[in-house]
């Protein structure tokens, strides 16, 4: 079973990124991608105003720890070279009993196609499925759900080792939309 709380050692530093808990100063950088229709088209929130981004940022300031099922670990993706926050990467505790979590991510459109989302998501996947004794979260099944029209996200998940688990239709932003659920089950998992 997953052991809560999740309180990983942060920040996580990769080749080009620092993955860390959001800070108040991230507001302007977050506004850049939270208000971009090209970014939010496949995300569960609408294009946001500055006030709405500030409201969304508030709980993320405390999202470096997960105490219960349903909570998200939310990390800002900061470029090491400039200090600019270009996105966020998340993992949600879905079920303690089933050892399941969900991966999520969002990134500024200007940085698409550079491998940065892969770099951030890869680091979070390693954290999620890593052994508890090594500072990992011990997740035995990691899922990611996305709009089936988001081909770039499907390719990213497949590069990360996820496989398509199921397709479905659900209401998304007021309309019926095709969805995909991908899963990653580490080889060491007893599943």
Q: Classify 44 as helix, strand or coil.
A: coil
The answer to whether 185 touches 141, Cβ cutoff 8 Å, is yes
The residues pairing with 100 across neighbouring beta strands, listed in sequence order, are: 95, 141
Q: Which of 18, 15, 117, 5 is nearest to 63 (CA)?
A: 5
Give the per-residue pLDDT at 188.
57
Q: For 20-63, write each residue's pLDDT tens digit.
A: 999 999 999 999 999 999 999 999 999 999 999 999 999 999 99
Give the per-residue pLDDT at 10.
97
Structure tokens at 132: 């508890």
Domain 12-143, architecture per CATH: 3-Layer(aba) Sandwich (3.40)
pLDDT beyond 90 at 126: yes
Burial 159-172 (b: 16+ CB within 10 A, else e): ebebeeeeeeeeee
**pLDDT grade for 133, boundaries at 50, 70 and 90:** confident
Mean pLDDT of 135-140: 92
pLDDT beyond 60 at 19: yes
Domain positions in the chain are 12-143
Q: For 83-121, write each residue's pLDDT tens digit.
A: 999 999 999 999 999 999 999 999 999 999 999 999 999
Q: What is the pLDDT of the chain when averaged over all its residues? A: 95
The answer to whether 66 touches 5, Cβ cutoff 8 Å, is yes
Give the per-residue pLDDT at 132.
87
DSSP 5: P
pLDDT above 70 covers a percentage of the chain that reads 98
The answer to whether 47 touches 37, Cβ cutoff 8 Å, is yes
pLDDT beyond 80 at 7: yes
């Amino acid at each position: 079973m997953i052991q809560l709380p999740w309180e990983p050692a942060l920040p996580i530093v990769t080749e080009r990124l620092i993955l860390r808990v959001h800070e108040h100063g991230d507001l302007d950088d977050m506004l850049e991608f939270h208000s971009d229709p090209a970014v939010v088209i496949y995300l569960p929130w609408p294009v946001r105003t500055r006030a709405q981004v500030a409201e969304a940022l508030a709980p993320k300031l405390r999202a470096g720890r997960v105490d219960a099922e349903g909570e998200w670990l939310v990390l800002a993706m900061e470029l090491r070279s400039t200090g600019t926050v270009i996105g966020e990467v998340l993992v949600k505790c879905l079920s303690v009993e089933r050892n399941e979590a969900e991966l999520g991510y969002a990134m500024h459109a200007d940085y698409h196609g550079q491998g940065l989302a892969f770099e951030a998501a890869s680091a979070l996947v390693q954290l999620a499925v890593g052994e508890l004794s090594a500072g990992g979260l011990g997740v035995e099944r990691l899922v990611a759900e996305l709009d089936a029209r988001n081909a770039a996200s499907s390719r990213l998940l497949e590069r990360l080792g996820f496989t398509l688990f199921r397709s479905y239709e659900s209401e998304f932003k007021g309309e019926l939309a095709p969805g995909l659920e991908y899963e990653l089950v580490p080889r060491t998992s007893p599943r």
